[in-house]
Amino acid sequence: MFIYLSKKIAIPNHINLKCVSWNKDQGFIACGGDDGLLRVVKLDSQTDDARLKGLAAPSNLSMNQGLDGHSGAVQVVTWNEQYEKLTTSDQNGLIIVWMLYKGAWYEEMINNRNKSVVRSMSWNADGQKICIVYEDGAVIVGSVDVLLIVCLLIGSRIWSYSPIQPATSWSCAEIHFE
């Protein structure tokens, strides 16, 4: 089976895009670019009746929200689909974790190492750990601790190392540097 998606999304003032990431579980697309541009759009989902009849999916956006918080070019965006979080980083090294609350995205946590720029970030499959690779070669693995009483995510560093590595991805039980 092949799927083709075609939807034009207007970017204000012809700002250059630096990164795009798709949350396939919830249908969100995050776009980051120059001048702190960060937009999250959501594609309307197809109804069960349309699916059964084989009709094309509607092309409307149910969300088109600009997120404010970055001042430099947004260079990395990654989704934590299990916890419905968006993690972004800009050219100044600022990392922001965004959460969806009552249909809108809000800042949940801000972190700035103040030493280097993030080159890659990746959440593992169960959404419990994030690996962050910096331009200066530092690698940090953080964990997410879930407090069920207040439903907050509190991050903590569980490992760090300083090799020169440009990108990262997760496998079932270990981290792979590419």
DSSP state of 166: S
Cβ burial 138-174 (10 Å sphere, 16+ → b, else e): bbbbbebeeeeeeeebeeeeeeeeeeebeebebeeee
Instruction: Tell me the pLDDT tens digit for each residue of 67-84.
Output: 999 999 999 999 999 999
Per the structure block, which two tokens stand in for 54?
Answer: 């084989």
Residue ranges per structural domain of the chain: 17-113
Instruction: Tell me the pLDDT tens digit for each residue of 127-138.
Output: 988 888 888 888
Q: Which residues pair with 6 in a beta bridge?
A: none
Instruction: Tell me the pLDDT tens digit for each residue of 43-63.
Output: 776 655 555 555 555 567 778
